[in-house]
Structure 1
Amino acid sequence: DRPYVFKAPPEGIAAMTAIVQAVKPELKVPFGVNYLWDPTASVAIGAATGARFVREIFTGLFASDMGLWEPDCAAASRLRHNLGRDDMKLLFNINAEFAHSLDQRPIELRAKSAVFSSMADAILVSGPITGQPADQSHLRSVCETIKDVPVFANTGVNIDNVRDVLSLASGVVIGTHFKIDGNTWNAVDGDRVKRFMDVVATLR
């Protein structure tokens, strides 16, 4: 899917919907969807496939590798409602990877505003790029400010830092660490997943 685009093409939406539907019978846990970097497409796919949540950039204005980035949260939220899926949670990543926010407010105020004005169901705090940890001071300030909804670390969580991360955050989004050799583009390594989850189990 690289180079990234802001608007999912019709064939991409169709393909991802078909893939999710194909693997859904094998899933034993609740699942969510995320079509980079299109919140409306993500909501559409999530609604069609019975996803429990959608993760995406819903708010803000960013300068990015792909140009100026201005997601339309209202359109995504209206689509969720019009498709009868108000139960599907929207997880707001508030500091996008591969981009810099043009909003000069502190990150915790942007998070608080997203919950109040855009009705975020959860707030995600990211690092600067896929697989790199979020700034701990950012994560801490958001967690200390946001009490109404969960706050998750969205990037860079691994077996070495998960204890520290979960001492602050309600949960984590993880991908890169689960791959063979910790490489984003490799297949999932079941042994790495098990070792990580064994550590997480001791923290519950």
Structure 2
Amino acid sequence: MTTWLDDIFAVEKPVIAMLHLSALPGDPGYDAEGGLDAVIARARQELHDLQAGGVDGVMFSNEFSLPYLTQTEPITAITMARIIGELRSEITVPFGVNVLWDGRASIDLAMATGARWVREIFTGVYASDFGLWNTNVGEVARHRARVGAAGVKLLFNIVPESATYLADRDLESIAKTTVFATLPDALCVSGATAGAPTDSQALAIVKKAAGAVPVFVNTGVRAENIGDQLSIADGAVVGTFFKRDGRFENAVDPDRVVTLMTAAREFRATLS
């Protein structure tokens, strides 16, 4: 059965690479001396390294805007739009965006830049490291329609990092009702933090409950486990493994990109 993943990526079980933008204006870690020129220069180099390594897609995120806001300041998405605009002619693979942790801002950024998808926390109420974390998926869905972004696919992270679902519900129930009641285009299953392994049993539970909705393994994918993870999931989102020494804070290591994508292609070859 053909899915929107086939239409966008034209490969089975795509690997989406995270492009983690440096801290942006307004963020505590922003390098005002280097300014946006330094942010753009690093993003450009990482974009080229990821694409040259063979990734199937790229997702821009403000990953170094720590600590995150659940309702971002306008300067964040505006700055991200400028960065993506400057790099737009150099992007050769499908791309998405993620304004952490703000669904509306992510949709607005996607609409402004031509991104094909967004990843966010769209459903649930959580106790998190960022305080009480509430969502309003109905409002966000209507906002997407109002701004003409109906074609932007919504990837729902239903196991958010640094947070615990407040309701006493099991993961299977959450996945089933999310699919039925909130109309996600895909579900993402994560570990505790960026780079943390995603539990294979949790991934399998969500995959079974999701029916025809694609499921992505969202954190902790490595060259040595990508075959096992993609044997369950419909695709993978990879960030930390691609970094030098596999450390979240480092820049992309081109050799690590090639290593993982080689393993991904070898696994996909077993499917045909």
Q: Tell me which interval the TM-score lies in, with the shorter structure as reference length.
A: over 0.9
Q: 2:185 aligns with which of 107, 118, 121?
A: 121
* Mapped partners of 1:168, 1:159: distance in 2: 16
Q: Does 1:154 align with 2:218?
A: yes
Say if 2:120 is the partner of 1:56: yes
Aligned to 1:186: 250
CA contact (8 A) 1:38 1:71 kept: no
Q: Given the alignment of the two structures, is residue 133 of structure 1 paired with residue 215 of structure 2, yes or no?
A: no
Aligned residue among 152, 165, 173 for 1:109: 173
CA contact (8 A) 2:198 2:219 kept: yes
Match of 1:4 among 61, 68, 71: 68
Structure 1 residue 104, shift from structure 2 partner: 1.8
Give the count of matched residue pairs. Answer: 204
Runs of at least 5 residues in structure 2 that lack an aligned partner in the other structure: 1-64
Decide whether the 8 Å contact of 1:7 with 1:37 is kept in 2: yes
Structure-1 separation of matches of 2:167 and 2:196: 22
Partners of 1:103 and 1:77 lie apart in 2 by 22
Per the alignment, residue 87 of structure 1 pairs with 151
Task: Tell me which residue corresponds to 1:36.
Answer: 100
Query: Structure 2 length normalisation: TM-score?
Result: 0.73
> Which residue identity does 2:251 align to in structure 1?
A
Distance 2:125 2:210 in 1: 21
Q: Is the 8 A contact 2:158 2:187 kept in 1?
A: yes
Structure 1 contact 154–172 (Cα < 8 Å) conserved: yes
Cross-structure match for 2:12: none
Give the % identical residues.
46
Aligned residue number for residue 15 of structure 1: 79
Residue type of the partner of 1:181? D
3-state DSSP of counterpart to 1:173 = strand
After superposition, the C-alpha distances for 1:17-56 in whole angstroms (9 at most, x for unaligned) are 1111111211111100001111111011011111100001
Flag the structure with more relative contact order, 1 or 2, with Cα contacts below 8 A and sequence separation at least 6. Answer: 2
Distance in 2 between the 1:16 and 1:76 partners?
20
1:165-184 matched pairs, under 5 angstroms: 165-184=229-248
Alpha-carbon distance in structure 1 between the residues aligned to 2:166 and 2:159: 10
Q: Which residue of 2 aligns with 1:199?
A: 263
Aligned mates of 1:187, 1:89 — CA distance in 2:
28
Task: Give unmatched runs, 5+ long, in structure 1.
Answer: none
Deviation at 1:103, TM superposition (A): 2.3
CA apart distance, 1:202: 1.1
Give 1:98's aligned residue.
162
RMSD: 1.0
Contact 1:125-1:153 at 8 Å conserved across structures: yes
Residue 129 (structure 2) aligned to one of 56, 65, 73? 65
